[in-house]
Structure 1
Amino acid sequence: MIYEPDYKNVNNIPKSGLLVFAHRGFGNYGPDNSLAAVRMAIEAEIDGVDLDGQMTVDGKLVIYHDPKLDRLTDGTGSLKEKTLAQLKELDLGFKFHEKFRGEKISTYEEILKEVNGRLKIFVELKTSTIGSDSSEDIAVGLIQKYNAHDWAYLSSFNPFVLYRIKKLDEKVNTMFIFKDVNVDPEILKEIHPTDTKGIPWMLRNEFCRSLIRRWTKPDFLS
């Protein structure tokens, strides 16, 4: 079971039966999807990190969440229209905190080399069309290069992307991300927390609703 904790209380979470994952690297403590944040997750002995992967215009798989560069860096425009060299000129850190000034956007390969099996990595491939940008080929190739099958996972909202990954290498661990807008309700009947690596928001919300006991306060109670 995977649980995404309140970062302020991360050290107080019982580890038995739980995998603690840091969102976007360790995004509450360092710049989103940055190597610095991943290093902090390693130091905190977090079980894993979830990250986001996108392709540059010159065919490099980098770790970054937003389609645009404006919010997190000193750059502007679309990431997919930049080369890796152009992205490496940008500062990813200073908008988060001055102490991270100089932090750069990382490639997926740089993240794999840094982690080297010390925690699990979940990377969402942000591609809308199967095979449209070669991200599946590159990600699978890097997992093979670093023998990372046991600790590197690939995910997508697009099941056809995951299908292609499995065709490339059936040993690569994949995860299907979904929301209520793209899942048949019949599928939910077959999903149980004991046999899934994660709890979808719909199941979490439904569980919370099941705990509610409705009652009406009588007039004589203050």
Structure 2
Amino acid sequence: MNNLCVAHRGFSGKAPENTLAAVRMALELPYVTWMEIDVQLTRDGVPVVIHDYSLDRTTNGRGKVKNTDWSDMRLLDAGGWKGRAFRGERIPSLEEVLDLSKGCLRLNIELKNAGNLYPGIEKTVTELIASKGMREETVLTSFDPGTLLRCEEADPGIRRGLIFDSRWGDPAGRVRELGCSFLSIGFSRLTPGLARFLSGRGVGVMAWTVNKAKEMRRLADMHSDIMICTNRPDIWGETFLGV
């Protein structure tokens, strides 16, 4: 299957992002082969799946993820904002998502670490992935070069990817400098030349966040290896498989 479908934060177009409900909805679609999630650490060092540094937007809690213990965070409602049907949905731990995804979905795990906001997150996450036997099923990505270098130190065999969304700069050069084998890039920044260049060197390319059929087709025409990360995997299915 070309232009693999990546469910962005799970099936986040219909379920609350980065929750087990969103993961389960993605799992129900047989053509979803990858899922992108975001990981941070609680105050007491538990890796949790949530995008924002603050709890405010996607839960009924307040404050920073890094200032909240897991015992308090797991009590928050992370689904009610999306609709009545999702009330009571919780922020999942990374371990819960790994257990649900193992053998079913490959994972692009973004480490939400700016500078050294979460000291030790790289070691914590790589050790958890290894303990689940999922090193071959994951890629760790980040905007932060230091985080990617520390991932390599923590586990030299783990696959790593750079996230890039700048109008300027040399993403291919940065991928090479960091020794990464994956590029996660805003879809409007991706060019046919860059896609061909990276694919020819064995670097995986994922374009985000693509929710319209027209843009999906444009990327598919650009290169068959481009992975399409979308909030709406159902639209991917309609576009490429007619389902």
TM (norm. structure 1) is 0.77
Larger radius of gyration: 1
Report what 1:32 is aligned to. 17
The answer to whether structure 1 residue 164 and structure 2 residue 150 are counterparts is: yes
Contact 1:178 1:200 in 2 (8 A): no
Report what 2:8 is aligned to. 23
Contact 2:40 2:118 in 1 (8 A): no
Amino acid at match of 1:37: A
Cα distance between partner residues in 1 of 2:160 and 2:171: 22
Contact 1:131 1:161 in 2 (8 A): no
Cα distance between partner residues in 2 of 1:97 and 1:79: 23
Cα distance between partner residues in 1 of 2:172 and 2:105: 34
Identity %: 33
Report what 1:53 is aligned to. 39
1:197 to 196, 204, 228: 204
Change (3 A) 1:186 1:122: closer
Cα distance between partner residues in 2 of 1:38 and 1:185: 30
Report what 2:52 is aligned to. 66
| 1:7-54 deviations in Å (ceiling 9; x for gaps) | xxxxxxxxx222100111111021110011011111112111101011
Amino acid at match of 1:171: G
Contact 2:41 2:118 in 1 (8 A): no
List alignment gaps of at least 5 residues for structure 1. 1-15, 212-222
Report what 2:135 is aligned to. 149
State the Cα distance separating 1:130 from its structure 2 match: 4.5
Contact 1:92 1:102 in 2 (8 A): yes
1:79 to 50, 62, 65: 65
Give the match's secondary structure for 2:146.
Answer: helix
Instruction: Flag the structure with more relative contact order, 1 or 2, with Cα contacts below 8 A and sequence separation at least 6.
Output: 2
The answer to whether structure 1 residue 42 and structure 2 residue 49 are counterparts is: no
Report what 2:108 is aligned to. 122
Cα distance between partner residues in 2 of 1:94 and 1:185: 38
State the Cα distance separating 1:56 from its structure 2 match: 0.9
Amino acid at match of 1:23: H
Cα distance between partner residues in 1 of 2:47 and 2:171: 34
